[in-house]
Structure 1
Amino acid sequence: MRTLVDLNADAGESFGRWQLGDDERLIPLVTSVNVACGWHAGDPATMRRSVQLAADGDTAVGAHPGFPDLAGFGRRALAMSPREAADACLYQFGALRAVADSLGVPVRHVKPHGALYGLTLRDPDAAEAVADAVQSADPEVRVVLLAGPTADRVAERGYRVVREAFADLDYDDNGHIIIEPNPQAKDPEVCADQVMSVLRGSVTSVNGTAVPVDADTICLHGDRPNAVEVAKAILDRFATEGVRRAPMVEVAGQRA
């Protein structure tokens, strides 16, 4: 069983006066945070606040670029070529990095959001284009992709990849996540069970199929109503099972 892993959360997804998630309580519980960059959620003030919360909680910061779809929260598919997807990620990464630079906080990774994440899963050329664009801007930044064939291919091409699994999403028989347009509360213990399964090397699909998974980081969603409770259940399980947490860049860097 893997005993070193990163726990990450999508956060910073409020917009103006509309508040989503409990970032004050959630961000200190995770080792890495993916901050929305304004296209699917977030705004400059929210971005600054999220980065400051991460700095205060000693949580590593990453950019969470999405499709330009505030109304659909970036979870509706849009048509983008690999070049367009790469430029979208680069643009949003740059915006967050400017905010983080002003606070003296490094941006360690880039993780596409929602349907843009799904595009990198379905189109390996898009995933590689995103990695190339981001790492052309900063060779030290890692790109987060779903653990599996696409992440392996991009890593084999020489890009710095973090392989991700999910605590609070279901999987199909192909090892693809099933995205929820509007996440509802989930049983924290069921999520913790899935995390421990991932650490043992597999997840069970919605049809009962065991799907192999080799992940450096495990995500939970900040817009889930009981995200804090889910995080606490996972941390309790880590303590019981002797699992140590570290930021995803550190965990991924230990791969041969």
Structure 2
Amino acid sequence: MPGPCRQIDLNCDFGESYGTYTFGQDEALLAFVTSVNIACGFHAGDPHTIREAAERAVAAGAAIGAHPGLPDRLGFGRREMALAPQDVYDYTLYQIGALEGFVRAAGGRLHHVKPHGALYHMAGRSPELADAFVRAVRAFDPELMLYAQWGSALLAEADRQGLRRAAEIFADRTYRTDGSLTPRSEPNAVHLRAEDALAQTITIITEGHIEIGGARIPMQGDTVCLHGDGPHAAAFAARLHEGLLSANIELRPPHRP
């Protein structure tokens, strides 16, 4: 007999193509995820891509999030930059506003905001940058939800400012013993087998920890991230979707008022 039903959101990054460059497997992923994080034009995306991504997500019924990043297309927003808190506030507010116009035009509304790449990690470590990011989200719409990594300064700041938030865990990334993600510059930073990603995810959801080298690191999540730019992203998403449902875990986005 299956155990009691648990609930989790499965999110993916979305709309990261621009110009003549195509990235990700957006259309295929929509069949399996429950929320999407749409690039807002800084690290990826352009007006045409953003419009198409918003229209697809609204039609599919996925919860839509803004995915603001650093102004660094060459590095796909994954290179850290020297930023003041005011930079983070302005960049974040600007990008949320850009996406929100397309979402409204498509007949939908924003559900959450999740920083991308280097901005995600910088604001996750720095209380000052986390404060600026959360203030920008609240200034735009205090009913939006923040998606941020389990244990990050962003979640702590969201709690302090009274912003609803979802703790994020990763299916296709590996972790270090301090609970941080293995840097992409190091070996074995990404799970190459869907079964490994699924096993890691189910352990975190059902047991509240992750096992690394025999040690159990406490970890919990409200939403699971699957990166959409990997070569096997759609196959991973399909296996995660199937495996989580088989483990009696309900897939749906966190509720927004």
- Using the size of structure 2 for normalisation, the TM-score is 0.91
Q: Which residue in the other structure is 1:177 paired with?
A: 181
Spell out, residue by residue over 1:18-61, the C-alpha distance to the aligned partner (whole angstroms, 9 max, x if none): 11111011023111000001111111111111111111211110
Structure 2 CA distance, aligned partners of 1:225 and 1:43? Answer: 22
Distance apart, 1:208 and its partner CA = 4.7
Q: Who is 1:160 aligned against?
A: 164
* Counterpart for residue 22 of structure 2: 19
Q: Counterparts in 2 of 1:99-178, with a 5 A limit?
A: 99-157=102-160, 158-178=162-182
Percent identical residues: 38
Question: Please, which of 4, 10, 13 is the counterpart of residue 10 of structure 1?
Answer: 13
1:67 pairs with 2:70: yes
Determine which of 220, 223, 226 is the counterpart of 2:226.
220
Given residue 36 of structure 1, which amino acid in structure 2 is its aligned partner?
A: A
**Cα distance in 2 for residues equivalent to 1:191 and 1:136:** 36
Q: Can you give the 5+ residue segments of structure 1 that lack an aligned partner in the other structure?
A: none
Residue-pair matches, total: 250
Query: What is the CA deviation profile of residues 77-99 of structure 1, one whole-angstrom value per residue up to 9, with x for unaligned ones?
Result: 11112221121111111100011
> Quick one: structure 1 residues 117 and 208, their matched pair in 2 at CA, closer, same or farther if it must change by over 3 Å?
farther
Q: Which consecutive aligned stretches of 4+ in structure 1 deviate over 3 angstroms post-superposition?
A: 181-185
Give the TM-score of the pair, scaled to structure 1.
Answer: 0.91
C-alpha contact (below 8 Å) 2:44/2:76 kept by paired residues? yes
1:244 Cα deviation after fit:
0.3
Give the SS at the match of 1:247. coil
Q: Contact conserved, 1:32 with 1:248, CA < 8 A, in 2?
A: no
What's the offset of the Cα at 1:211?
1.7
CA contact (8 A) 1:144 1:161 kept: yes
Contact residue 10 and residue 33 of structure 1 kept, 8 A: yes
Unaligned segments of structure 2, at least 5 residues = none
Alpha-carbon deviation of 1:181? 6.6
Q: Does 1:31 align with 2:34?
A: yes
Q: Distance in 1 between matches of 2:115 and 2:82?
A: 15
Read off the aligned partner of 1:5 and give its amino acid letter. I
SS state of the match for residue 248, structure 1?
coil
Q: RMSD in angstroms over aligned alpha carbons?
A: 2.0
| TM superposition shift of 1:204 | 2.9
Q: Distance in 2 between matches of 1:137 and 1:149?
A: 22
User: Secondary structure of 1:172's partner?
Assistant: coil
1:131-159 C-alpha deviation (Å, 9 max, x unpaired): 11111111111111111152442243122
